[in-house]
Structure 1
């Protein structure tokens, strides 16, 4: 029996995986800023988040958040920004990258805090 299955650890792990994928996709968009006809991509988190929340419901009367598993990478529906048909807006992508880095660092801090709590319990509160 995995002791972490009934904790927030799997949810934090899923969120970290999504944040990592988001940073990868944003980096690809930035790298292809001058590639003709390249369409910017984005990661869709909501379905995976809803499924994770649903899996951790403790009461049947709580709101259900059904959804499909995994993250999806889709093309953005923004029009071409440049004359060559490229839809990457470098300013938006850099802003998204900064936000994504902060989210990732916050999730890592939350996971570290959770493990510090386990460590404290295992030491008997010392």
Structure 2
């Protein structure tokens, strides 16, 4: 059984999961750099994390509601599903003669950025847990 130190730990845990998935996708893109007609894939999870944050910290109270004062007004469009991360094909790179559009410079740069973010999340989680543990230890010493 794990103790929840902070409500933000759920977001950090989810972000770590998505960063690990993204690292695997980028590694797959690099591994398929010579596969004909391969298009690099990526994952977008920022909207999912923002929705989770709004849920955890009850940000709905700050949301501006749109009033529809007349029946002939165009109704508010439904927001897209943010319960899952979105996988997409990274576009914008020129395909080679074999139809492959993997750019190793882009992939290695994205992998490095993702690794830095993953490590930053791990360190933030460790620091947060360390503060919690030091408070418990200090409380134990005073009793």
TM-score bracket for the superposition, by shorter chain length: 0.7 to 0.9
Is 1:114 the equivalent of 2:128? yes
Give the RMSD, CA atoms, in angstroms: 2.6
Contact 1:29 1:40 in 2 (8 A): yes
Q: Offset of 1:9 from its aligned partner? A: 0.8
Gaps of 5+ in 1: none
TM-score normalised by structure 1 residue count:
0.86
- Give me the whole-angstrom Cα distance separating, in 2, the residues matched to 1:36 and 1:60: 47
- Aligned mates of 2:6, 2:129 — CA distance in 1: 14
Q: Which has the higher contact order (CA 8 A, sep 6+)?
A: 2
| TM-score normalised by length of structure 2 | 0.76
Structure 1 position 70, deviation (Å): 2.2
Runs of 4+ aligned structure 1 residues displaced above 2 Å come to 56-64, 77-81
Q: C-alpha displacement at 1:78, in angstroms?
A: 2.6
* Structure 1 residue 47, shift from structure 2 partner: 2.3
> Could you tell me which residue of structure 2 aligns to residue 20 of structure 1?
20
Q: Quick one: distance in 1 between partners of 2:119 and 2:59?
A: 31
- How far is 1:49 from its partner? 1.3
Q: Deviations over 1:38-65 (max 9, x none)?
A: 011010112211211111224653348x
Name the count of aligned residue pairs: 126
Bigger Rg, structure 1 or 2: 2
Partner of 1:89: 103
Contact 1:50/1:67 (<8 A) preserved: no
